[in-house]
Amino acid sequence: MTLTDLLPATDVTACCEPLTRESISAENAGALASTLKALADPTRLRLLSMVAAHVDGEACVCDLTEPVGLSQPTVSHHLKILVEAGFLTRSKRGLWAYYRLVPGALDSVSRLLVTI
Amino acid sequence: MTLTDLLPATDVTACCEPLTRESISAENAGALASTLKALADPTRLRLLSMVAAHVDGEACVCDLTEPVGLSQPTVSHHLKILVEAGFLTRSKRGLWAYYRLVPGALDSVSRLLVTI
DNA sequence: TAACTATATTGACGTTTGTCAATGTAGTTG
DNA sequence: CAACTACATTGACAAACGTCAATATAGTTA
């Protein structure tokens, strides 16, 4: 009689243990991953921070291009990604395009993260 | 005398307004982006969730491969990324490698996010 | 209308990423 | 020791990404 025969229960549960709750669905994981992907870039995090730090919580592309140290098309590209992900709004006034944080957007991602 | 001459102040502040506070540093943005990059993948979010949902908050690779629907090397690859990012710990016991959530890791990322 | 300005779009290019098949490694079992 | 098991590593490949130069667009000014 081997040790395995003596301890069948513990051996069975040594791998493939049951769940204590439901884990995140594949669809929700995909959606959250897309949202996080928009944030997972140093330039985009800086852009978000710079927009938030501006007076009136608003900034145009010309405010951001120089401090971020990248070309204007690249900055516009990143801003577009942030708008599409729901973190920024864009409103054009005259020649300028003003970007503004979407209130609560970062908070809701933040809250989602801890429920994983 | 043009309108621009009459309203120099408002014209100047139409673009390139000053900051109300410091924005995130390039180094901190890079570090946070690296951390978020580890999370910004649907498979890795599911793996984190599955590990957390297991009894004792612990799971081995064999627990995760089948439900996630990817090859074993791919799952090991994702788990390694999560360990290196500080979200999981790995402890080998016998033939199995057990992964466990790092307490507070998701919370601190979550908190960092709202201070951007 | 013509010149100018701020921003967006396109196309290209090198880099990074996610995945798998094949193979390597450490530990177990007979 | 030899066969087996769970997991990790390597190498390859297609897809996605970040960046820029060039160009297009929309709005302003003279």
Domain ranges of chain A: 28-113
- A37 contacts chain B (CB < 8 A): yes
Strand partners, A91: A98
Is the pLDDT at B70 greater than 60? The verdict is yes
Residue B103 DSSP SS3 = coil
Q: Looking at residues B83-92, what average pLDDT do you find?
A: 98
Nearest-angstrom CA–CA distance, A100 and A26: 31
Within 11-30 of A, beta carbons closer than 8 Å to B belong to: 14-24, 26, 29-30
Is the pLDDT at B13 greater than 70? The verdict is no
A55:B19 CB<8 A? yes
Query: Tens of pLDDT along A11-65?
Result: 333 455 567 889 999 999 999 999 999 999 999 999 999 999 999 999 999 999 9
In this structure, CATH architecture of domain B26-114: Orthogonal Bundle (1.10)
Q: Taking all atoms of strand C, which protein residues have CB closer than 7 Å?
A: A 2-4, 60-62, 65, 72-73, 76-77, 79-80, 90, 95-97; B 15, 37, 40-41, 43, 70-71, 73-74, 77-78, 81, 92, 94-95
Whole-angstrom distance between the N-terminal and C-terminal Cα of chain B? 44
CATH class held by domain A28-113: mainly alpha
Query: Tens of pLDDT along B38-63?
Result: 999 999 999 999 999 999 999 999 99
pLDDT at B17 (0 to 100): 56
Task: Determine contact, residues B30/A50, Cβ cutoff 8 Å.
Answer: no
- Mean pLDDT across chain B: 87
Q: Which residue carries 């927009």 as its tokens?
A: A51
